[in-house]
Amino acid sequence: MYENKLAKRQLDDASKSDQNKRARLGSTTQSGTSNATAPTASTEKPTPDKSGCLIFKAMGIMPTIDQPDTKKRICAGNAREGVFCKRGARCPMIHNNNPTTWHPATVKARAKLVENTPNLEWHSTVDRDQIKARSNEA
């Protein structure tokens, strides 16, 4: 009798394990419909934000300013339109794409770079008058 209970338990465990595997893999039923559930918000990868405050129309790496303090340095991957920073939240640089919130010296240096670099310009959403005013504060 003990052997029958043990064998039954092993069969039940195997059946449950098989059901769990099918649920995880999204197996289909005999009618061809999927048993998989839609991915939840916690399992979906967020779409990276590719909206930047600068547009670089040339190929290659966008010119940037060498700033020793990374907390005052603008992340080029985040600031350039069409690309994103691969470091994400771990990046120590500025990820705010609103230049009016940057340190005035940072705005002044970035404005000078944009002015002197061909194929580099502010995005249309950036208020150039505010950039000039913020640059003059430095």
Domain residue extents for the chain:
1-44, 54-137
pLDDT band with cut points at 50, 70 and 90 for residue 16 = low
Query: Which residue bears the tokens 């640089």?
Result: 93
Q: What confidence tens digit (pLDDT) does each residue in 51-104 have?
A: 678 888 888 888 888 888 877 788 888 888 887 788 888 888 888 888 888 888
Let me know: does 99 contact 107? Beta carbons within 8 Å. Answer: yes
Q: How far apart are CA 116 and CA 110, in angstroms?
A: 10
Range list of β-strands (E), the chain: 54-56, 120-122
Q: Which two tokens stand for residue 59?
A: 């190929």
